[in-house]
């Protein structure tokens, strides 16, 4: 079969790769659509394990069923979660599924930028979901990233009537904006360094979208009727974005750290200000099983304008172009690879 082998953001090669054989309890899935995630182009993170086949936002069709599999059949349209928790460890039992050791070691074989993937038994058991006819393969690609967004807003306890400031209007930021809009946020402000994404933020639910250089506290107060934001969501992996967040959150508010920084990047944290103003600093990673189910339900009833977020659909041979588009972050939002093309 063909795969897109990742060596770096500028070097993604179409290569031949053996179709993985499946064993008992496993599935072979033909990948129909696979999204490029912002984390796929975090070169500082990915290149350490190169060469490898990336891709974890996938939707496809089951073409082979292993012995003992009872809940799935050939022809089923499915979304498959690449990371799945054990559901029995200390972390899972305390609601912290995304720091489970099992979740951090499970994956697809070889990865979503391939014509076919083997679904290990544990992923079949707790990470494979049949898509209803109301969900297209393209929409299925959004299940994983939307689940991550749902988890973040759930942990942040976003409530109807609150104001939200989203820093970074790439696909994660836009999903946060769209979800906050349907959740009843009173006012949504967005920022980015790119004019194309500023326009996208307005199109997908932001009341106001401004360039990052103009998003100082005075500007936030002017937009938000004299107050800073109740919830600031950081979707840009830059120190400048986090410093901006710390200046933009209202007393008693929350900063949700959605985008990671490189491991060696650190900055001075104004602890007294946060202590004095009752600010909560919250991190989030991945999506728990309940978040995946909620994402599927939201997509099934078409509450979010996901199809309009897709800017590029590329064949497997042009995965390298897709990586360049996402890494450059200029005039792309969601880039989807179609491995059967």
Model confidence pLDDT, tens digit, residues 280-337: 999 999 999 999 999 999 999 999 999 999 999 999 999 999 999 999 999 999 999 9
CATH of the domain at 207: 3.40.50.720
Helices (H) and strands (E) in the chain, counts: 12, 15
Spatial CA neighbour of 318 closest among 292, 295, 337: 337
149 assigned to some structural domain: no
The 8-class DSSP code of residue 216 comes to: -
Question: What total of structural domains would you count in the chain?
Answer: 2
CB contact at 8 A, 116 and 268:
no
Using one digit for the tens of pLDDT, what is the confidence trace for 230-247?
Answer: 999 999 999 999 999 999
CATH of the domain at 40: 3.90.180.10
37 assigned to some structural domain: yes
- Shared domain check, 294 and 240: no
Bond before 135 cis per omega within 30 degrees: no
Residue 45, domain extent: 2-144+287-338
pLDDT at 269: 86
- Shared domain check, 191 and 99: no
- Shared domain check, 192 and 88: no
Q: Could you give the 3-state DSSP secondary structure of residue 10? A: coil
- Would you say the pTM of this structure is higher than 0.85? yes
Using one digit for the tens of pLDDT, what is the confidence trace for 173-232?
Answer: 999 999 999 999 999 999 999 999 999 999 999 999 999 999 999 999 999 999 999 999
């Amino acid at each position: 079969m063909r795969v897109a082998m990742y060596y770096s953001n500028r070097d993604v090669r179409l290569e031949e790769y053996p179709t993985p054989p499946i064993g008992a309890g496993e599935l072979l899935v033909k990948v129909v659509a696979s999204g490029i995630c912002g984390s796929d182009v975090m070169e500082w993170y990915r290149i350490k394990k190169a060469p490898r086949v990336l891709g974890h936002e996938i939707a496809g069709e089951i073409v082979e069923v292993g012995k003992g599999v009872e809940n799935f059949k050939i022809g089923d349209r499915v979304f498959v979660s690449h990371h799945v928790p054990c559901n029995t460890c200390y972390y899972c039992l305390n609601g912290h599924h995304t720091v489970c050791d099992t979740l951090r070691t499970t994956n697809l074989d070889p990865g979503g930028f391939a014509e076919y993937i083997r679904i290990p038994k544990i992923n079949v058991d707790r990470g494979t979901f049949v898509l209803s006819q109301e969900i297209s393969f393209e929409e299925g690609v959004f299940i994983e990233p939307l689940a991550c967004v749902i988890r973040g807003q759930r942990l942040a306890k976003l409530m109807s009537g609150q104001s939200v400031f989203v820093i970074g209007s790439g696909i994660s930021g836009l999903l946060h904006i769209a979800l906050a809009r349907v959740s009843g946020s009173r006012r949504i402000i967005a920022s980015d360094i790119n004019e194309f994404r500023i326009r996208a933020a307005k199109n997908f639910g932001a009341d106001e979208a401004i360039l990052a250089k103009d998003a100082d506290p005075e500007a936030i107060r002017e937009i938000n009727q004299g107050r800073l934001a109740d919830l600031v969501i950081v979707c840009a992996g830059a120190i400048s974005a986090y410093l901006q967040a710390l200046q933009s959150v209202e007393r008693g508010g929350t900063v949700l750290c959605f985008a990671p920084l490189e491991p060696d990047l650190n900055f001075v944290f104004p602890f007294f200000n946060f202590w004095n103003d009752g600010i909560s600093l919250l991190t989030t990673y991945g999506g728990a099983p309940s978040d995946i189910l909620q994402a599927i339900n939201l997509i099934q009833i078409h509450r979010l304008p996901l199809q309009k977020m897709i800017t590029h659909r590329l064949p497997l041979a042009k995965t390298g172009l897709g990586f360049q588009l996402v890494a450059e972050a200029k005039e792309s939002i969601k880039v989807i690879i179609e491995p059967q093309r």
